[in-house]
Amino acid sequence: MGKFNKWNDRVWNFFASVDLAVALFIIISIGAAIGTVIPQSIEPEPVIRFFSKFMSVSSAHKTYEIVSLFDLNNVYHSWWFTFLLFMFALNLIVCSIDRLPSLLKSFKTSTKPYPPEIFEKMPIKKTIEINNDKILEKVKEVLKKKGFLTHLFETSEGVQIQARKWSKTRLAVYLTHLSILIILSGALIGTFFGFRGSMNIVEGTGLNFAISDEGKAIPLGFEVRCDKFEVEYYENSGMPKAYRSYLRIIENDQIVKENIVIEVNQPFTYKGITFYQASYGFQPTEHAEFRFTYVDKTGKQYDINALFEEKFKIPGTSVTAYVIDFSPALGVDEEGRLFNMSTDMINPAVLVVFEEKGNKTQQWILSKIPETWETPYGKLRFNELWGVQFTGLQVRQDPGVPLIYVGSILMCIGLFICLFLRPLNYFITANKNKVTFYSQSAKGIIEKQIDEIIKEMKGDKA
Amino acid sequence: MSYQIISIAGLLYILSMPVYIIYILTKNKKLGFVATGILCSGALIHIYGFIQRFKEMYSINYSIMRSIPITNLYESLVFFVMCIILGYLFIEWKYKNKSFGVFISILAGITIGITDLLGITKEVQPLVPALKSNWLLAHVTLSFIAYAAFAISFITALLHVIMGSANKRSFKYIFSTFLLGLMVFMFISVILDILTGVNPKSVKIFHSTLLNSSVILSIFSWILLTALIFLFWKFGDGIIKILQNFKITSDFLEDITYKVIAFGFPIFTIGGLVFGAIWADQAWGRYWGWDPKETWSLITWFVYAFYLHAKFIRGWKGTKTSMIAVIGFLVTIFTYLGVNLFLSGLHSYGSM
C-alpha cells in the first residue's frame, strides 16, 4: 500500500510540475511548427512534391512513408498532437488542484509575527522618526484609508504590522488557466458535435448537403438555393471590391426564408448552421441565361432573357437576334484584337447577331460600356449572364463556439488582473518613535506607495 | 505622397543613431537632448505621414474604421516602427534614461530601410473583401502594438544578457553578441543598399554587400560581418558596460524587459489571438484553423507565457529569463515576416 501511495505521489507531482508545462510548451510548439512547413494534406502528392524539392524522387517517396507514419502531414488532428493537448489540459487541472487550496487557506488564516531578521533582508526599507504618541493609530488609519488589510502583533521588539492589499488577485492565475480549459472543452465539443464543410452552388440551383473536408456528403435537412451571385469590382481594375450571394432556404418543399444576402464577413445562420461567403468561380451550365434590357425609341423598357444561340425578337420590329459569343472580361490587345482577359466577370460582353430580312449584322455589347448598347435597332443593354457562376460557401455547425467566447473573455480578464494588479505586501515595525516600512518586492509602485504613506503621516502632523 | 514623408522620418531615425553613440561616448548632455530631439522630430513627421496616409486610404474606402493604414506589408512595417519609437520615447521620458536609444534607432532604421529593399508596393491599395470588417482596426493595430512591445523587450533583454553574462564562452553570450553584430551589420548594409540602389524596383536586400555582384566586395562584406560579430563577442561586455555610467544597470534592463512584456503579452492575447479568432469565426467560419499565421502566433504566445511562468513560479532570475525574451522576439519576427515570406496561408494580405 505504501508503495502504491509513493507511486501515486510521483505521478501527481509529475503532472503538477511546472517543468511538465514548460516541456509541453516546447514540444507542442515544435509539433505545431512542423505542421506549418510540411504540407498538411491527406493526399500523398503534395507532400511528395514538397520533399522532391530537396531530394530525389525515390527518397521523397521514402520520406513520405516516415511522414505519414507519424501523421506529420496531418499534425493537428494526429493522435500524438491530441495527446499532447490532452496532457496540457491535465497538467493545468492538476497544477490548480495542487496549489489552489493552500492559496485559499492563506487568505483565511491569520499569520504569525515574523522574526525581525527576515525584514532586514528585504530590498526595500524606509524609516521615519516622529514624536507622536498616536503614531500607531495614524499608521493604521492611513493604511485603512488606502484599502489595506492589517494584522497587528505585539512583539518583544515593539509593534509589528503586516499590511496587504489585492492579495486575492492571485486567484486570477487560476481564472486564466480555467479559461484555457474552457476553450479546450469548447474545441472538443465542436469536434464531436459539430461539422465543417463547403458547398459550391451554381446560380439558379440549390443543394441540400455540404461536402466535408474529408470529402463526405453531410445532409443539411433543408435546401439552400442561390438565386443570384454577383461580384463588384473596383473601377478600372480586376480587383474584387465585394462579392455576395442571394440565397433562399427551402424546407419540405416550402420557402422558409428568402432574400438572404451574404457577403465576406457577413455570414447567415439557419437552425444552428452558419453559411459563410468564401469563394466563387465560373461554371457554364445549360440553363445559363443572357439578360438584356431593350429600350425602344419611345423610352419603353422590355426585359429579354435568352439562352445561348436562342433567337429572340426585338420588340416592335421585325428583327430577330441571338448571342453567338460571350466573354467574361473582354480586352483589346496591342494590335487591336479582342481577347478574353480572365474567367472573372470583370467586363462581361456578348456578341449579338441581328437578322433583318436575311441581312445579318453583328455587334459586341459590353455591359459596362454604355456606348456599345446603341444598335441600329434601338438601345440593347446587356445586364448579365446569369447561371454561369457558382458561389463557394463554407458551412459550419459548432455548438462549442459560446464556450470559446466565454473562455476568451475570462482569459483577457484573468491576464489583466494577473499582470496589472499585483498584490502589495508591507511589513511595518513601530518602536517608540521609530517607524520602519519593509517590502519584499523591489517593484517601483511599492516604493512610491510607501513614500506616499509617509508623506501623508508627516503632512497630517504638520 | 505619404511614403515620401515616412521616408524622411526613417532618415531621421537613422541619423539619431550616431548622435546617440557620440552622446554615450562624450557624456555631453546637450548631445543627449539633440539625439532625443532628432528621434522626436522623426516621430512627429512619422505621425504626420501616417495621418496623410490615413487620408489617402479614406479617399478610396470612405470608412474611418477601415481606413487605418495597416493593410499591407509596407503599411504594417511603418506602423510597427512608429509604435517602437513612441514606446521607446515613453520609456526614455518615464525613466529619464536615454542610452539604449542607439539600439532602438538601429532597429527602426533597419525596418524602415527594408521597406525599400523587399520590392513591396508602397502605393495605397483598396481593401480586398476579406479585410472589410471593423475587426481590422482592433485585431491588426493591437497585434502590431504587441509586436512593437516585444521588439523593445528584445533590445533590453539582449543588452541584459550581454551585460549579465560572466562567461564569454557561454551560449547565451555568444548568441546575443552574434545577434547584436548582425543587427549592426544589417543597419550598415541597408543604408548602403539604399544609397547604391539605382533603380528602386530592382534593389534587393544585401545587394551592395553580401550578395554583391563583385566577388571581391562580396567576400569583403562577409569578412566584415564576421569581424563585426567577433568584435562584439570580444568587447561586447565592455561596450555594454559603458552604459552603466548612465544608470543602465542589469536590474534596470531586466525590469524594463519584464514590464514591456507584461504590457505586450495581454495585448497580444486580446488583439492577436482573441480578436483574431472572433474575426476568423465571422469571416472564414472557424475561430481556429491551424493556418500558419495562427499556429506561429500560438507558438509566440507559448514562448512569452513560458517567460512569465519562468519569472513568477520558477523564480528564474537574471539572464536566463531574458534569453527567453530574446528568442521570443525571433519567433515574433518569424510570425510577422517569415510566415508571409516562406509559408502560404489565408493571411496573405501581408505578402509581397
Q: Which of A101-115, A204-218, B98-112 has the lowest mean pLDDT?
A: A101-115
Residue B234 in grid coordinates: 570580444
Closest residue of B to A405, CA-based?
B278
Is B281's CB within 8 Å of A401's CB? yes
Nearest to A240 among B129, B270, B278 (CB): B129
Q: What is the mean pLDDT of residues A422-449?
A: 73
Q: Sort out which chain A residues have CB atoms less than 8 A from B303's CB and list them.
A: 25, 29
Cα(B162)–Cα(B237) distance, integer angstroms: 6
* pLDDT score, position A384: 86
Q: What is the mean pLDDT of residues B27-39?
A: 90
Q: Sort out which chain A residues have CB atoms less than 8 A from B270's CB and list them.
A: 412, 415
State the pTM of this model.
Answer: 0.85
Task: State whether residue A113 sits within 8 Å of chain B by CB.
Answer: no
Cβ atoms of residues A111 and A162 within 8 Å? yes
Residue B222's CB: how many other CB atoms inside 10 A? 12
Q: Which of A457, A461, A390 is nearest to A428 (CA)?
A: A457
Interface-testing mutation among A19, A36, A82, A269, with chain B (most B C-beta atoms within 10 A):
A36
Is B133's CB within 8 Å of A265's CB? yes
* pLDDT score, position B349: 59
Chain-centre distance for alpha carbon B22: 23
Cβ atoms of residues B246 and B24 within 8 Å? yes
Q: pLDDT of B156-166, one tens digit each?
A: 999 999 888 87
Cβ atoms of residues B66 and B122 within 8 Å? no
Cβ atoms of residues B78 and B111 within 8 Å? no
H helix intervals, A131-238: 135-145, 172-193
Q: Sort out which chain B residues have CB atoms less than 8 A from A264's CB and list them.
A: 129-130, 132, 283
Residue A146 in grid coordinates: 488606502
Q: Which of A130-134, A188-192, A396-400 has the lowest mean pLDDT?
A: A130-134
- Chain B contact residues (CB < 8 Å to A): 126, 128-130, 132-133, 251, 255, 262, 265-266, 269-270, 274, 277-278, 281-288, 290, 292, 295-296, 298-299, 302-303, 305-306, 308-310, 313-314, 339, 343
Cβ atoms of residues B232 and B180 within 8 Å? yes
Q: Sort out which chain A residues have CB atoms less than 8 A from B284's CB and list them.
A: 276, 278, 394
Q: Which residues, in sequence order, are bridge partners of residue A231? A: A243
Task: State whether residue A415 sits within 8 Å of chain B by CB.
Answer: yes
Q: What is the mean pLDDT of chain A?
A: 84
Q: What is the mean pLDDT of residues B245-263?
A: 87
* pLDDT score, position A459: 64
* pLDDT score, position A444: 55
Q: Regarding predicted confidence, which is higher, A434 or A360?
A: A360
CB hemisphere CA count around A402 (13 angstroms)? 2
Q: pLDDT of A143-152, one tens digit each?
A: 787 778 888 8
Is A264's CB within 8 Å of B298's CB? no
Task: Inform me whether the pLDDT recorded for B351 exceeds 60.
Answer: no
* pLDDT score, position B153: 96
* pLDDT score, position A326: 86
Q: Sort out which chain B residues have CB atoms less than 8 A from A241's CB and list them.
A: 126, 129
Cβ atoms of residues A165 and A439 within 8 Å? no
Cβ atoms of residues B291 and B345 within 8 Å? yes
Burial of B95 per CB tally in 10 Å (0-12, 13-18, 19+): middle
* pLDDT score, position A422: 78
Is B129's CB within 8 Å of A404's CB? no
* Nearest chain A CA: its distance from B92 CA (Å): 16
Q: How many residues are listed for chain A in this entry?
A: 462
Beta pairing, strands A158-165 & A424-431: antiparallel
Task: Inform me whether the pLDDT recorded for A372 exceeds 50.
Answer: yes
DSSP B214-260: SHHHHHHHHHHHHHHHHHHHHHHHHHHHHGGGGT--HHHHHHHHHHH
Is A278's CB within 8 Å of B288's CB? no
Q: Which chain A residues in 268-307 lie under 8 Å from chain B, judged by CB atoms? A: 274, 276, 278
Is A267's CB within 8 Å of B282's CB? yes
Nearest to B269 among A18, A266, A415 (CB): A415
* Nearest chain B CA: its distance from A134 CA (Å): 38
* pLDDT score, position A462: 43
Chain-centre distance for alpha carbon B86: 12
Residue A443 in grid coordinates: 517593484
Q: Which of A83-87, A189-193, A434-438 has the lowest mean pLDDT?
A: A434-438
The residues near B220 (Cβ < 8 Å, ≥ 6 apart) are none
Q: What is the mean pLDDT of residues B181-197?
A: 89
Task: Inform me whether the pLDDT recorded for A164 exceeds 90.
Answer: no
Q: What is the mean pLDDT of residues B124-139?
A: 83
Q: Which of B58-72, B73-87, B247-261, B277-291 has the lowest mean pLDDT?
A: B58-72
Q: What is the mean pLDDT of chain B?
A: 87
Range B61-77 burial, b when 16+ CB lie within 10 A, else e: beeeebbbbbbbbbbbb
The residues near A304 (Cβ < 8 Å, ≥ 6 apart) are A291, A292, A293, A294, A312
Cα(A302)–Cα(B341) distance, integer angstroms: 53
* Nearest chain B CA: its distance from A419 CA (Å): 6
* Nearest chain B CA: its distance from A202 CA (Å): 20
Residue A254 in grid coordinates: 416550402
Task: Inform me whether the pLDDT recorded for B197 exceeds 80.
Answer: no
Q: Sort out which chain A residues have CB atoms less than 8 A from B290's CB and list them.
A: 32, 35, 40, 75-76
Task: Inform me whether the pLDDT recorded for B200 exceeds 70.
Answer: no
* Nearest chain B CA: its distance from A387 CA (Å): 23
* Nearest chain A CA: its distance from B337 CA (Å): 14
Strands across the sheet containing A424-431:
A124-129, A434-439, A424-431, A158-165, A149-155
* pLDDT score, position A177: 92
Cα(A136)–Cα(A435) distance, integer angstroms: 9
Q: Which residues, in sequence order, are bridge partners of residue A392? A: A200, A279
Q: What is the mean pLDDT of residues A307-336?
A: 84
Strands across the sheet containing A273-282:
A254-263, A240-251, A217-233, A206-212, A195-202, A389-397, A273-282, A268-270
Q: What is the mean pLDDT of residues A404-416?
A: 94
* pLDDT score, position B352: 46
Is B128's CB within 8 Å of A18's CB? no
Nearest to A419 among B265, B278, B288 (CB): B265
Q: Which of B62, B51, B42, B52 is nearest to B1 (CA)?
A: B52
How many Cβ pairs within 8 Å bridge chains A and B? 103
Is B133's CB within 8 Å of A405's CB? no
- Sole residue written with cell 520615447: B89
* pLDDT score, position B123: 80
Cβ atoms of residues B83 and B156 within 8 Å? no
Cβ atoms of residues A410 and A182 within 8 Å? yes
Cα(B98)–Cα(A138) distance, integer angstroms: 41
Range A59-92 burial, b when 16+ CB lie within 10 A, else e: ebeebbeebeeeebbbbbebeebeebbebbbebb
Q: What is the mean pLDDT of residues A277-288?
A: 84
Q: Crossing angle of helices B2-26/B29-61, nearest 10°?
A: 160
Q: Could you tell me what percent of chain A has a pLDDT over 70? A: 94
Q: pLDDT of A170-193, one tens digit each?
A: 889 899 999 999 999 999 998 889
Q: Regarding predicted confidence, which is higher, A102 or A131?
A: A102
Q: What is the mean pLDDT of residues A111-122?
A: 75
* Nearest chain B CA: its distance from A407 CA (Å): 10
H helix intervals, A212-258: none
Q: Regarding predicted confidence, which is higher, A315 or B175?
A: B175
Task: Inform me whether the pLDDT recorded for B273 exceeds 90.
Answer: yes
Q: Which of B95, B74, B78 is nearest to B43 (CA)?
A: B78
Task: Inform me whether the pLDDT recorded for B343 exceeds 80.
Answer: no
DSSP B179-204: HHHHHHHHHHHHHHHHHH-SSTTT--
